Amino acid sequence: MEKELWKGNEAIAEAAIRAGCNCFFGYPITPQSEVPEYMSVHLPKAGGVFVQSESEVAAINMVYGAAGSGMRAMTSSSSPGISLKQEGISYMAGAELPCVIVNCMRGGPGLGTIQPGQGDYYQATRGGGNGDYRTVVLSPSNVQEAVDFVQEAFDIADQYRNPVMVVMDGLIGQMMEPIEWRPVPKRDLPPKDWATTGRKGRDHHNVINSLYMDPEECDRHNEHLWEKYALMEKNEVRWEEISCEDAEVVITAYGTPARIALTAIEMLREEGLKVGLFRPITLWPFPEDALRKLSKAGHVKAFLDVEMSSCGQMMDDVRLSVEGRKPIRYLGHAGGVMPTAEEIVDAAKAALKEGA
Amino acid sequence: MKKQIIISGFGGQGGLAIGKNLAEAGMAEGLNVTWAPSYGPEMRGGTANCSVVLSDKPVGSPVFARSTELIALNEPSLVKFEAGVLPGGMVFVNSDVVTDKVSRQDLTAYYIPCARIAEEVGNPKVGNMVMLGAYVAGTKILKPETIEAMIQEMFAGPKAKFIPLNIEAFRRGMACIS
């Protein structure tokens, strides 16, 4: 298959169109503006609908409406814009509506900076909206993965009738890399017989709603949702381990820091130091069992978590998996500063000392 | 083999396009490539830049603190990025705009009069193609034929009239490296 050079954001938009996305609603914000820009030109040509909404709040509610009528709907934004969409995401989880939401993350909090960031991990994995809900969160660390995951995300969303997020730092959106338009796994999906497309002789009206006035009924609804989330935890968890078989220090990182870590690991291995990478691909469900297993391995002396966030948000999940068995060091920058391979090398050496 | 190249200049000088051309050509030759642009406030300070990696192994980090080569299209870019070039590295300076010289002794410096050559060739816009030629000749990392084939493809159809001009600029840039 021939390789093509694509910019992350444009590739994501094209991937969505190829996955049958027929409604896109968005609002420009750096560093994701190429997604709506590309969509505005190409989605109508493919027979779909593109609307540049008046705000991010409007965009996510348009997604709600389109998804409710059975469309493959999508929106994208960057951190502050994703914050504005949280109410809509919670409503869609409550109303069991499938959609794909792309967050091309920048530094925060507030308006922060337009440079790449990973400070929205808590928001994506814990839910930035109200109520007990979950979304599958896929995190690509190169443009090929971004393309593959966006296509798969529509199927995952439809399978569970739930929003799916594709979360990446701004660099993945801005950079260009060769990709192949390779086939992605297709799922056997149930018909959308719940969509509000008109009664058409059915014996009942389809209703899309997240409001349950009767607490018992709301409780049962939540139970049903949690059964669904348990299935996602069982079936959707993904991760990658690189050079972990003999690693004394395991670096945990996702997105761009995972790539930088690979460069650092190459440098460390040249010096004879055994360092590997554990890369969560789904941030939720987090690959807890796999990381727990690794933390029990005798050869693993310590962990080093690397993120583009100041406090180490994924670090919480790493801790919950490692459960105190091994020391965990943290290296992070926020505000749009990326860790360098040299910094990671130094931190890994410090981790090795700590774990010895 | 791994090249980590910084190309930097004023917006409009074609620096990001040089980087894109290098990435495209690298990909055509079967290398692993990445192209990462600066999209922040530095663009306004005159150092709009991109980072390109060409490697025979999968690319880890697409951004880097130390470069193997620097292409400086303007003065602020040389000031900002010279220190980050790895010892033994190369610096390609757009000498029509940059009056300073490369100060480090451990680097190979090439001074390319991009604007003057572009004028001679007949269009000031092809200054970046001159620089691309210099880079290809200086590093020998990519085949000139690959770049020329890419230029043919880039200006296919109604833009075909620009092909000879760009190829001429590219070759004149190569000729700057002796």
Burial of B77 (0-12, 13-18, 19+ CB in 10 A): buried
Please check whether residues A248 and A222 belong to one and the same domain. Answer: no
Q: Which residues pair with A355 in a beta bridge?
A: none
Helices (H), B29-162: 75-81, 114-121, 127-139, 144-154
Residue that finishes a domain, picked among A220, A235, A250? A235
Look up the ipTM and state it: 0.93
pLDDT at A140: 98
Mean pLDDT of B32-55: 88
CA-to-CA distance for A149 and A165, rounded, in angstroms? 10
Q: What is the pLDDT of residue A351?
A: 97
Report how far residue A288's alpha carbon sits from residue A320's, in angstroms, rounded to the nearest whole number.
8
pLDDT at A222 over 90: yes
Give the mean model confidence (pLDDT) for residues A42-63. Answer: 98
Residue among B124, B110, B117, B152 at smallest CA distance from B25: B152
Digit-coded pLDDT (tens) for A97-106: 999 999 999 9
How far, in whole angstroms, is CA A222 from its chain's centroid?
23
Q: What is the pTM of this model?
A: 0.95
DSSP string, A191-209: P-TTS-S--TT-SS-----
Can you give the residue ranges of every domain in chain B? 2-175
Q: pLDDT tens digits, residue range A155-190?
A: 999 999 999 999 999 999 999 999 999 999 999 999
Residue B40 has pLDDT above 80, yes or no: no
Report the residue of chain A nearest B33, measured CA to CA. Answer: A177
Give which of A167, A142, A341, A266 is closest to B34, Cα–Cα: A142
Distance from CA of B17 to the nearest CA of A (A): 12
Q: Are residues A212 and A248 in the same domain?
A: no
* Helix/strand/coil for A54: coil
Contact B90, B69 (CB under 8 A): yes
Interchain CB distance below 8 Å, B61 and A31: no
**What is the DSSP code (8-state) at residue A315?**
H
pLDDT of residue B115: 95
Model confidence at A355, pLDDT cuts 50, 70, 90, reads confident
Contact check, Cβ <8 Å, A176/B34: yes
- Residues A178, A303, single domain; the answer is no
Q: What pLDDT does A71 receive?
A: 98
Cβ neighbours of B32 in A, within 8 Å:
178
What's the CATH number where A344 sits?
Answer: 3.40.50.920
Quote the domain boundaries for residue A55.
4-235
Residues A227 and A270 in one domain: no
Q: CA B176, CA A171: separation in Å to the nearest integer?
A: 35
| Amino acid letter, A108 | G
pLDDT in tens, B130-173: 999 999 999 999 999 999 999 999 998 999 999 999 999 999 99
Structure token digits, residue A296: 């029990």
Residues A180 and A91 in one domain: yes
Contacts of B36 in chain A (CB under 8 A): 171, 174-176
Q: Are residues A9 and A151 in the same domain?
A: yes
In the predicted structure, residue A277 carries a pLDDT above the cut 80:
yes
Q: Phi then psi for A85, rounded to 5 degrees?
A: -85, -5
A144 Cβ under 8 Å from any chain B Cβ: no
CB atoms B33 and A177 under 8 Å: yes
Averaged pLDDT of chain A:
97
Q: Are residues A217 and A268 in the same domain?
A: no
Q: Which of B5, B7, B32, B39 to mutate to test the interface with A (most CBs of A within 10 A)?
A: B39
A224 and A274 together in one domain: no
Q: Are residues A304 and A164 located together in one domain of the fold?
A: no
**What does the pLDDT read at residue B43?**
65
Distance, CA of B178 to CA of B164 (rounded, Å): 23
Query: Which residue in A has a C-alpha nearest to residue B34's C-alpha?
Result: A177
Q: Could you tell me the CATH superfamily of domain B2-175?
A: Pyruvate-ferredoxin oxidoreductase, PFOR, domain III (3.40.920.10)
- Count structural domains, chain A: 2
A67 and A151 part of one domain? yes
Q: Which of B79, B168, B89, B88 is nearest to B123 (CA)?
A: B168
- How close is the nearest chain B Cα to the Cα of A262, in Å? 5
- At A247, the pLDDT band (50, 70, 90 cuts) reads very high
Please compute the mean of the pLDDT values over residues A292-306 and round it to a whole number: 98
Regarding whether A283 and A307 lie in a shared domain, the answer is yes
Closest CB to B61: pick one of A177, A178, A260.
A260
Residue A99 shares a structural domain with residue A211: yes
Question: At which of A235, A270, A292 does a domain end?
Answer: A235
Interface test with A, best of B39, B61, B67 (most A CBs within 10 A): B61
> What percentage of chain A reaches a pLDDT higher than 70?
100
Q: At B78, which amino acid appears?
A: L
Contact between residue A100 and residue A71 where contact means Cβ atoms under 8 Å apart: no
Looking up tokens 């680097």, which residue turns up?
A: B107
Last residue within a domain, chosen from A178, A200, A235: A235
Average pLDDT estimate for A190-199: 95
